[in-house]
């Protein structure tokens, strides 16, 4: 039987320059446009500041408006090239901010130092939570009308210590209550805040140098349907989850890519601003512009942390959906058990 599809409809090249441009732009992801537009716009403004030898933004905007054709002729190619470069490097940006890789020389020392810092931060969070729990229980101890052995067991539990030996009746009573039941809600809110921050860390042997990496890895270690490969988990199982979950996964992943790319774009703009404006305007003006761009990079990193937390929620939803489709009991991943054992040792 003859094929009814026309030859022009299969692999045909674009008919005109506009269609070619449309096909090129269609290949660029949404997460790369904002970083690319920021880089092109700020670079254009910095070049104008350098030309007028001042940071008067009203003068700069007026000059750019008068010669808008030349500005577009320069800015549009820079924008497209920047978007292409940022899209190509978005995955590497996430990897770097997660702390992956094995850099050589001083960077390897920096990686080890940052990893130790994250370990100490987890230990401080745990120690502070234990102090808050101790104070909360001590404030409510007089309200417990229980036997001495039960109160002692609750006291040990609030401090993360091993419970004492209990009689069968005491053990039954102890398991039916919780030391948090009579704790003030404002005390519990602070305790839960520190507990949530602790839960953003994986087991001690898998801690990464950055907060972003630890947030993502702690969730990856909880997934039971990864099949041994957490990197391609979402790609391999995306079609098996409901369409709404697929949409939310794509949205949060796009935001994560965008904010991670923005971090490096802002850092690059800070370096570029220092190079273009040095010896052109006063040093404090150069420092102000660079500081503003670095602050934007800092804000972008914290936005990436928030996006990562939301992205982790979607990964858990996908994992739960896949687990419900799989026959047999749900098995706890080894890393979760290891995390529990490590934190038990920290409590002692």
8 has a pLDDT exceeding 90:
no
Question: pLDDT-based confidence at 160, cuts 50/70/90?
Answer: confident
pLDDT digits (tens, 9 = 90+) for 193-242: 999 999 999 988 899 999 999 999 999 888 877 665 666 777 777 778 88
pLDDT in tens, 175-187: 898 888 888 899 9
User: What are the structural domain ranges in the chain?
Assistant: 16-100+208-343, 122-198
- Contact, 37 vs 79, CB < 8 A? yes
pLDDT at 244: 87
Q: What is the mean pLDDT of the chain?
A: 82
Question: With 80 as the cut, is the pLDDT of residue 22 above it?
Answer: no
Q: What string of DSSP letters covers 167-203?
A: -HHHHHHHHT--TTTTS-HHHHHHHHHHHHHHTTS--
The pTM of this model reads 0.79
Output the pLDDT for position 334.
Answer: 42
Instruction: Please give the torsion angle defined by the CA atoms of residues 244, 246, 251 and 255, in that order, rounded to the nearest 10 degrees.
Output: 140
- Tell me the C-alpha distance between 175 and 150, whole Å: 10
d(CA 99, CA 117): 13
b/e 81-105 (16+ beta carbons within 10 angstroms → b): ebbebbbebbeebbebbbbeeeeee
Read off the pLDDT of residues 258-315 as tens digits, 9 standing for 90 and up: 999 999 999 999 999 999 999 898 999 999 999 999 999 999 999 999 999 999 999 8
């Amino acid at each position: 039987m003859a094929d009814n599809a026309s030859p022009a409809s299969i692999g045909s090249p674009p008919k005109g320059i506009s269609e070619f441009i449309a096909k090129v732009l269609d290949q660029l992801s949404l997460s790369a446009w904002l970083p690319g537009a920021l880089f092109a716009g700020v670079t254009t403004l910095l070049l104008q500041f350098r030309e007028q030898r001042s940071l008067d933004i009203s003068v700069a905007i007026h000059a750019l408006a008068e010669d808008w054709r030349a500005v577009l002729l320069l800015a549009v190619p820079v924008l497209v090239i920047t978007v292409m470069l940022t899209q190509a490097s978005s995955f590497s940006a996430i990897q770097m901010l997660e702390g992956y890789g094995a850099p050589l020389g001083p960077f390897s020392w920096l990686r080890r130092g940052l990893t130790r810092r994250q370990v100490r931060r987890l230990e401080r969070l745990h120690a502070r939570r234990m102090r808050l729990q101790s104070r909360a229980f001590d404030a409510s101890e007089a309200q417990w009308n229980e036997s001495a052995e039960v109160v002692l067991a609750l006291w040990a539990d609030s401090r993360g210590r091993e419970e004492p030996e209990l009689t069968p009746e005491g053990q039954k009573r102890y398991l039916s209550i919780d030391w948090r039941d009579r704790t003030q809600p404002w005390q519990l809110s602070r305790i839960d805040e520190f507990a949530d921050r602790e839960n953003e860390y994986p087991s001690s042997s898998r801690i990464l140098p950055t907060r972003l990496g630890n947030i993502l890895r702690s969730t990856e270690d909880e997934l039971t349907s990864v099949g041994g490969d957490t990197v391609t988990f979402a790609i391999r199982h995306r079609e098996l989850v409901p369409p709404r979950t697929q949409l939310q996964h794509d949205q949060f992943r796009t935001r994560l890519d965008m904010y991670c790319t923005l971090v490096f774009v802002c850092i690059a703009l800070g370096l570029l601003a220092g190079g273009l404006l040095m010896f052109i305007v006063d040093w404090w003006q150069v420092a102000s512009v660079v500081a503003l761009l670095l602050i934007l990079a800092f804000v972008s990193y914290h936005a990436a942390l928030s996006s990562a937390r939301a992205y982790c929620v979607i990964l858990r939803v996908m994992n739960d959906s896949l687990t419900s489709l799989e026959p047999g009991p749900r098995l706890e991943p080894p890393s979760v058990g290891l995390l529990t054992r490590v934190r038990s040792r920290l409590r002692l």
